[in-house]
């Protein structure tokens, strides 16, 4: 959480000359987002977020991400809307990097969402899935189940440095999950990273969804499985079945879950736990001490994986 | 430039229960300030900055810093005003750290101020010096000329790793400056760090002064000498006499400089260059690679010091 590319006021001024947003009243780097540089900007015409894309977001993916936000906003989803510049483009160059300007969303993300918040977020996810229909571009899930093998191989040799037995846990889970992965579930555009950080609330209601930089085409139910992991465990990694029940029920009320999707939830949840375990483990093992981001503890996700490994049916998630 | 202490929404909510500022609409960590954690907060009652004091600001100095801001604001200076809580206190505890809430100032800091901006900032400095009169608390300048010896000793052994001849430059400048330091100049509360980062502008006029965490009691003219270093050199460290003339003239128009102060400017400017050279060099040599701040290049200030070493009179600053 830091600003990687320093933007001077003078650079900002020349960048904004290409937009119809007025002169800056406030311009501050904000500590948000995984590996982009983000600035809060206010002008006489409102508040904005300026994002500079650092190496992790590929320039060729920008039309998908920016186009998706425009598509979702047109479909009634509260998400950052890219502000087009005078040339009609959704992005331009700033500080040698692709950069885009977005409308600013009010709201705060919760650290300890309660069951009611899980329900509200579940409804928001289902609405996003519906609103994503008809979006013409597609993006493969680079961190989907067919991308895990590479991370497994990269992490296994040193996994036990982090936690005894972790290499075996990963290897077995990966083999099982890959063998049983359900490939025929309803698909569409998913967020793929809808953690509580990425949902803004105002007065208990969802006021916005943010950070779509893992969005891709994959099974809708996998998105729900990511949320089961991210929203329904307590800080001590105890599973809170009241939260999962609220989350799934609220989602299903907005977009009905097929029998196949319900049945697949346990394995999708295992897969989602493995995905975040692998990326956290990889980042932990390969952390550059000079980086401005502190890596997250992978063990939060090995414990979730162990929980889901024992789940036999969706009933254990409260339904 | 980073956020060191992570504040959850729930912690924020309980902290704000002690204030009359309303419920948060937006809460974002901002990449600002040297070693504090800062958050941008907006509520129905306006915009605020929430600061958590990390180890560098000592808790016992807070009454000076916070009291000074209140005193200056009452004197008409645009600076962050500490918002008192329901108990009437200027600070409270958050995340195990002393924390204070401030009114938010609009405006942007400039990277490449022009002569007109130097003049506006010089006027603002003089007004701040006047407004500081009558403030009852005092704070010694920990980085004043009597505090440099310790930094000199800590830096000298490895100074030449950074630049050939740097140890000798520092040792000689320190001896000369200390021997000739003017001790009888008019004193009062100074900002002591009024770099362009710490001056906000709107439409070419100063809209606020920020970051008073080096403020202390010292010679007024020393504050001006800090600005000569920070505002009047080009990126290639060429001295811009148009800027220095604008700065000094605007300052003196608002608060007249005595003959002794004018005469002392060259040595004060050398001292200020040495002070920033020493602290940057110390931070460079002792940089923790895990720190979330990138150290600044000390050579920007060895070059300034070499420039001032050759200055014989205030005439060379354009007056």
Residues B7 and B295 sit within 8 Å (Cβ to Cβ): no
CA-based torsion, A186, A188, A194, A199: positive or negative? negative
Which residue of A24, A31, A107 is in closest CB contact with B31?
A31
Residues B26 and A108 sit within 8 Å (Cβ to Cβ): yes
Q: Is A34 on the interface with B (CB under 8 A)?
A: no
Two structure tokens written together for A27: 């311009």
Give me the residue label for tokens 């099982």: A176
Q: Residue window 110-169, chain A: list those with CB within 8 Å of chain B.
A: 110-112
How many Å separate Cα B70 from the centre of its chain? 17
Segment A105-118 shows an average pLDDT of 95
CB atoms within 10 A of CB B187: 16
Segment A273-298 shows an average pLDDT of 86
pLDDT score of A7 more than 70: yes
Average pLDDT for chain B: 94
Two structure tokens written together for A177: 């999950």
CB atoms within 10 A of CB A256: 10
CA distance B265 to chain A (A): 30
User: How far apart are alpha carbons B128 and B130 in whole angstroms?
Assistant: 5
Q: If you count residue pairs, one on A and one on B, with CB atoms under 8 Å apart, how many are there? A: 86
Which range, of B23-27, B56-60, B288-292, averages the lowest pLDDT? B288-292
User: How far apart are alpha carbons B315 and B266 in whole angstroms?
Assistant: 10
User: How far apart are alpha carbons A157 and B56 in whole angstroms?
Assistant: 41
Q: So what's the pLDDT on residue A292?
A: 61
CA-based torsion, B140, B143, B148, B149: positive or negative? positive
Which range, of A23-32, A89-98, B137-146, averages the lowest pLDDT? A23-32
Two structure tokens written together for A90: 């959704």
* Closest residue in chain A to residue B11, using alpha carbons only: A111
How many Å separate Cα B171 from the centre of its chain? 25
Segment B59-67 shows an average pLDDT of 95
3-state secondary structure (DSSP) of residue B255:
coil
* Closest residue in chain A to residue B109, using alpha carbons only: A9
**Residue A283 burial (CB < 10 Å; 0-12/13-18/19+)?**
middle
Q: What would the pLDDT profile of B264-312 be if each residue is shown by its tens digit?
A: 999 999 999 999 999 999 999 998 766 666 788 999 999 999 999 999 8
- Provide the phi-psi class of B165: left if phi over 0, else alpha when psi is between -120 and 50, else beta: left
Q: Is B10 on the interface with A (CB under 8 A)?
A: yes
Segment B54-74 shows an average pLDDT of 93
Spell out the domains of chain A, with CATH numbers in brackets: 9-103 (3.30.200.20), 115-317 (3.90.1200.10)
Q: Is A202 on the interface with B (CB under 8 A)?
A: yes
Write the secondary structure of A242-263 as one string of H (helix), E (strand) and C (coil): HHHHHHHHHHHHHCCCCHHHHH
Q: So what's the pLDDT on residue B312?
A: 87
Q: Is A285 on the interface with B (CB under 8 A)?
A: no
Residue A248, CA distances (Å) to A231, A265, A305, B223 in order: 11, 10, 19, 62
A202–B29 C-beta distance less than 8 A? no
Enter the ipTM: 0.79
Which range, of A193-197, B5-9, B140-144, B191-195, averages the lowest pLDDT? B5-9
HSE at residue B81, side-chain half, CA atoms within 13 A, is 14
B31–A108 C-beta distance less than 8 A? no
Q: What is the pTM of this model?
A: 0.87
B32–A110 C-beta distance less than 8 A? no
pLDDT score of A109 more than 90: yes
B106–A9 C-beta distance less than 8 A? no
Which residue of A10, A26, A109 is in closest CB contact with B106?
A26
Write the secondary structure of B62-131 as one string of H (helix), E (strand) and C (coil): HHHHHHHHHHHHHCCCCCCCECCCCCCCCCEEECCEEEEEEECCCEECCCCCCHHHHHHHHHHHHHHHHH
Q: Is B75 on the interface with A (CB under 8 A)?
A: no
Pick among B5, B7, B28, B94 to test the A interface (most A CBs inside 10 A): B28
Q: What would the pLDDT profile of B197-255 be if each residue is shown by its tens digit?
A: 999 999 999 999 999 999 999 999 999 999 999 999 999 999 999 999 999 999 999 99
pLDDT score of B1 more than 50: no
Segment A136-142 shows an average pLDDT of 96
Q: Is A14 on the interface with B (CB under 8 A)?
A: no
- Which among A45, A29, A49 has a CA at the least distance from the CA of A210? A49
Two structure tokens written together for B314: 């205030």
CA distance A40 to chain B (A): 9
Q: Is A24 on the interface with B (CB under 8 A)?
A: yes
Q: Is A2 on the interface with B (CB under 8 A)?
A: yes
* Closest residue in chain A to residue B295, using alpha carbons only: A290
State the first-to-last Cα distance of chain A, in angstroms, to the nearest integer: 37
Which residue of A9, A110, A292 is in closest CB contact with B108?
A9
Per-residue pLDDT band for A32 (boundaries 50, 70, 90) equals: confident
Which residue of A8, A12, A111 is in closest CB contact with B9?
A111
- Which among B49, B50, B55 has a CA at the least distance from the CA of B35? B55
Q: What would the pLDDT profile of B148-165 be if each residue is shown by its tens digit?
A: 999 999 999 999 999 999
B24–A40 C-beta distance less than 8 A? no
DSSP string, chain A: -B--S---HHHHHHHHTTSSS--EEEEEEE--SSSSEEEEEEETTEEEEEEE--TTS-GGGHHHHHHHHHHHHHTT---PPBPP-TTS-S-EEETTEEEEEEE---BB--SS--HHHHHHHHHHHHHHHHHTTT-----B-TTSGGGHHHHHHHHHHHHHHHSTTHHHHHHHHHHHHHHH----S-EEEE-S---GGGEEEETTEEEEE---TT-EEEEHHHHHHHHHHHHSB-TT--B-HHHHHHHHHHHHHHSPPPHHHHHHHHHHHHHHHHHHHHHHHHHHHT--TTSSSPPPPTHHHHHHHHHHHT--SGGGGT-
CA distance A309 to chain B (A): 31
User: How far apart are alpha carbons A120 and A252 in whole angstroms?
Assistant: 12
Q: Is A30 on the interface with B (CB under 8 A)?
A: yes
The proportion of chain B whose per-residue pLDDT surpasses 70, expressed as a percent, equals 97
């Amino acid at each position: 959480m830091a600003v990687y590319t320093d933007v001077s006021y003078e650079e900002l001024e020349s960048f904004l000359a290409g937009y119809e947003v007025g002169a800056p009243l406030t311009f501050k780097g904000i500590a948000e987002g995984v590996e982009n540089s983000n600035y809060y900007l206010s002008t006489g015409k409102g508040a904005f977020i300026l994002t500079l894309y650092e190496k992790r977001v590929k320039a060729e993916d920008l039309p998908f991400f920016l186009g998706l936000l425009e598509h979702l906003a047109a479909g009634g989803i509260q998400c950052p809307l890219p502000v087009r510049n005078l040339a009609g483009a959704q992005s331009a160059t700033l500080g040698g990097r692709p950069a885009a300007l977005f409308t600013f969303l009010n709201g705060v993300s919760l650290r300890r969402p309660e069951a009611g918040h899980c329900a509200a977020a579940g409804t928001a996810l289902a609405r996003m899935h519906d609103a994503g229909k008809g979006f013409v571009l597609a993006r493969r899930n680079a961190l989907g189940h067919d991308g895990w093998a590479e991370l497994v191989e990269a992490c296994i040799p040193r996994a036990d440095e982090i936690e005894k037995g972790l290499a075996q846990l990963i290897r077995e889970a990966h083999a099982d999950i890959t063998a049983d992965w359900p490939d025929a579930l309803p698909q569409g555009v998913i967020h793929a990273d809808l953690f509580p950080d990425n949902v803004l609330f105002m007065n208990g209601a969802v006021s916005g969804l943010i950070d779509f930089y893992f969005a891709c085409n994959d099974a809708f139910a996998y998105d729900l499985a990511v949320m089961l992991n991210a929203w329904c465990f307590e800080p001590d990694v105890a599973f809170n079945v009241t939260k999962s029940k609220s989350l799934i029920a609220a989602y299903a009320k907005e977009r009905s879950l097929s029998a196949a999707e319900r049945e697949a939830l346990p394995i999708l949840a295992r897969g989602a736990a493995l995905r975040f375990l692998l990326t956290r483990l990889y980042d932990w093992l390969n952390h550059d001490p000079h980086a401005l981001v502190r890596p997250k503890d992978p063990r939060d996700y090995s414990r979730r994986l162990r929980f889901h490994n024992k789940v036999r049916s969706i009933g254990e998630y409260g339904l």
